[in-house]
Amino acid sequence: MCGTCGCNIPQTIADGHESVEVLIGLLDANDHQAAHNREHFNEHGVLAINLMSSPGAGKTALLEATIEAFDGKVRIAVIEGDLETENDAERIRAKGVPAIQISTGSACHLDAHMVHGALHDLDLQGIDILFIENVGNLVCPASFDLGQHFNVALLSTPEGHDKPAKYPVMFRAADLVLVTKSDLLAVLDDFDPTEALRCLRQLASSAPMLDLSAKTGDGMRGWVDWVEEAIA
Amino acid sequence: MCGTCGCNIPQTIADGHESVEVLIGLLDANDHQAAHNREHFNEHGVLAINLMSSPGAGKTALLEATIEAFDGKVRIAVIEGDLETENDAERIRAKGVPAIQISTGSACHLDAHMVHGALHDLDLQGIDILFIENVGNLVCPASFDLGQHFNVALLSTPEGHDKPAKYPVMFRAADLVLVTKSDLLAVLDDFDPTEALRCLRQLASSAPMLDLSAKTGDGMRGWVDWVEEAIA
């Protein structure tokens, strides 16, 4: 683990005792805040799900399709994390769901303090599920507890089936892996769902892996069932 | 800028004077090492190109196609950065080109010290171009000078054309942007090359943007011409 980001301190620098102390202080502070966030969620009966993936793997498209699938039967809210732009929050609001945008500037992940700040702008009493769409990054977000109940990692088919082997920290942290953009499988030659599952199992992860396409709706039922079971 | 990673220190923590001092020390140390690496490259007449992108945007496939396109006419070597696995280095070696794998563990980017360590395993005297394939991450690698002469950012079409707007730090740092997987354009509805270019220009970047497909070979000529001009 490195500095404030959750990645390794370069070996040549990590030897400094002071750096390590700062690191531990930062992660302790994050964990403390995350526990506090989780208490908030539990008090109000809110299920919090942290969505993580590479940039452009389809987190926002998944949320749009999820909101449509639930069709108002559960009360959804979204926290959007991006370096810049309010684009994603606007897409969610266009579906009639409250969305708070966190602009992280140059920060590569959300942390528990940022999420806590956003909670002040949400009426938790009126929410059943809070989706937290993390910054698009397959490394750093995995190391920061936000207070969520579940981590869901998206792996889009164009990225290739080897990603669980190459980004083990993220996929080990996942309670569920969604293989997104399954509609592209027919035109891709480097994504075999069986191989993706094998890579995941080699991390000693027993997380379920579901294929879906937010575009065509294929496989959305399995995801919605998972969410409903998580609420119950 | 945060900790050792180049991302922002969470605002609630950044106030600590000690954290900021550690950060400055880390980046100073990296810049110093990067300058030293660059001296090595210049002494031996090596052109160093840092390739950065999201996971699965096609950096390794681009390198394979580039090696084939040059067909031994320039002497290429590759440094591969990944959290885990030797897969990418093996793909490069299969093309008859020397490749050094850096396994970063949980670190989200290469730094100048890691690259310097890898240089000890390369015969710089026998190399014209060194490609450094960074860790797949559209945020953190942009903040770490490795001693390269040029930064090339890949944006794969399935990620969507809005990525320069959403990841401005990366695309501002790019001397060249390659739109990869152009063969998928026909089946995607969220990638318009004109929009991608508009997003890039809104960052006040004048970097050229070239479309290509390493799979079909379309557009490879423009990239190879750019590299040849960079060597000259």
In this structure, are residues A23 and B3 in contact, taking their beta carbons and an 8 Å threshold?
A: yes
Q: Which residues contact A125 (CB under 8 A, 6 or more apart)?
A: A44
**CA separation (Å) from A106 to A199, B85, B212?**
31, 28, 28
Q: Is B213 helix (H, G, I), strand (E, B) or coil?
A: coil
Average pLDDT of the residues of chain B: 92
Q: Which residues of B touch A140 (CB under 8 A)?
A: 5, 7, 108, 137, 139-140
**pLDDT for res A20:** 64
Which of B177, B215, B212, B231 minimizes the C-alpha distance to B64?
B215
Q: How many CB atoms lie within 10 A of CB B133?
A: 26
> Looking at chain A, which residue has its C-alpha nearest residue B59?
A159
Minimum Cα–Cα distance from B183: chain A residue: A187
Nearest chain B residue to A81, by CA = B166
Task: Give yes or no for residue A106 having a pLDDT over 90.
Answer: no
Least confident of A6-15, A68-77, A114-123: A6-15
pLDDT tens-digit profile of B74-107? 999 999 999 999 999 999 999 999 999 999 998 9
Nearest by CB to residue A107, choosing from B2, B111, B215, is B2
A228, pLDDT greater than 70: yes
DSSP B203-232: TT----EEE--TTT-TTHHHHHHHHHHHH-
Which of A25-34, A173-182, B142-151, B185-194 is the least confident region? A25-34
Closest by CA position to B63, among listed B214, B217, B221: B214
Instruction: Report residue A3's pLDDT band, with 50, 70 and 90 as the boundaries.
Output: very low
Predicted confidence band of residue B15 (pLDDT cuts 50, 70, 90): very low
Tell the residue number behind the tokens 């790019």, with chain if given: B174
Contact B13 A4 (CB under 8 A): yes
Phi, psi of A210 (to 5 degrees): -120, 135
Q: Are B129 and B161 in contact (CB under 8 A)?
A: no
- Using a CB–CB cutoff of 8 Å, tell me whether B30 touches chain A: yes
Main-chain dihedrals φ then ψ at residue B80, nearest 5 degrees: -105, 125
Q: How confident is the model at residue A17 (pLDDT cuts 50, 70, 90)?
A: low
Q: Where are the domains of chain A?
A: 11-231
3-class DSSP state of B26? helix
Is B232 within 8 Å of chain A by CB? no
To test the contact with chain A by mutation, choose from B54, B181, B190 the residue with the greatest count of A C-beta atoms within 10 A, namely B54
Complex confidence, ipTM: 0.91
- Nearest-CA distance A232 → chain B (Å): 34
B109/A contact by beta carbon, under 8 A: yes
Nearest CA distance, A93 vs chain B (angstrom): 18
B19: contact with A, CB 8 A cutoff? yes
Strand partners, A185: none
Q: Higher model confidence: residue B106 or residue A168?
A: A168
Task: Give me the pLDDT at residue B7, please.
Answer: 43
Q: What is the mean pLDDT of chain A?
A: 92
Question: Do B183 and B74 touch, CB atoms closer than 8 A?
Answer: no
Q: Are the C-beta atoms of A4 and A29 separated by less than 8 Å?
A: no
The whole-number pLDDT of residue B106 equals 87
CB contact under 8 A, A140 and B7: yes
Nearest C-alpha neighbor of A32 from the set A147, A127, A175: A147
Among B16, B83, B184, select the one facing A169 at the smallest CB separation: B83
* Domain B11-231 indexed as CATH 3.40.50.300: yes
- Residue A145 contacts B, CB cutoff 8 Å: no
Express each pLDDT in B117-153 by its tens digit: 999 999 999 999 999 999 999 999 999 999 999 999 9
Judged by CB atoms closer than 8 Å, whether chains meet at B83 and A56 is answered as no
Share of chain A above pLDDT 70, in %: 90
**Position A68 confidence tier, pLDDT thresholds 50, 70, 90:** very high
Q: So what's the pLDDT on residue A24?
A: 73
Q: For B155-178, how does the pLDDT look when each residue is reduced to its tens digit (9 = 90+)?
A: 999 999 999 999 999 999 999 999
Residue type, B112: A
Q: Is the pLDDT of residue A13 over 60?
A: no
Contact across the interface for B87 and A165, Cβ inside 8 Å: yes
Residue A129: helix, strand or coil by DSSP?
strand
Mean pLDDT, range A95-103, rounded to an integer: 98
Phi, psi of A4 (to 5 degrees): -100, 0
Residues 6+ apart with CB under 8 A from B164: B155, B171, B177, B196, B199, B200, B202, B203, B205
**Closest CB to B106 among A1, A12, A84:** A1
Contacts of B143 in chain A (CB under 8 A): 106
Phi, psi of B27 (to 5 degrees): -70, -35
**A85, B187: Cβ pair inside 8 Å?**
no
Per-residue pLDDT of B180-230, as tens digits, reads 999 999 999 999 999 999 999 999 999 999 999 999 999 999 999 999 999
Residues in B closer than 8 angstroms to A189, CB to CB, are: 215
Residue B25's pLDDT is 76
Whole-number Å distance between alpha carbons of A90 and A63 = 12
Residues 6+ apart with CB under 8 A from A94: none
Compute the distance between CA of residue B178 and CA of residue B209 in angstroms, rounded to an integer. 6
- Residue in chain B nearest A191 by alpha carbon: B56
Q: What is the pLDDT of residues B56-74, one digit of tens each?
A: 999 999 999 999 999 999 9
Q: Does A177 touch chain B (CB under 8 A)?
A: no
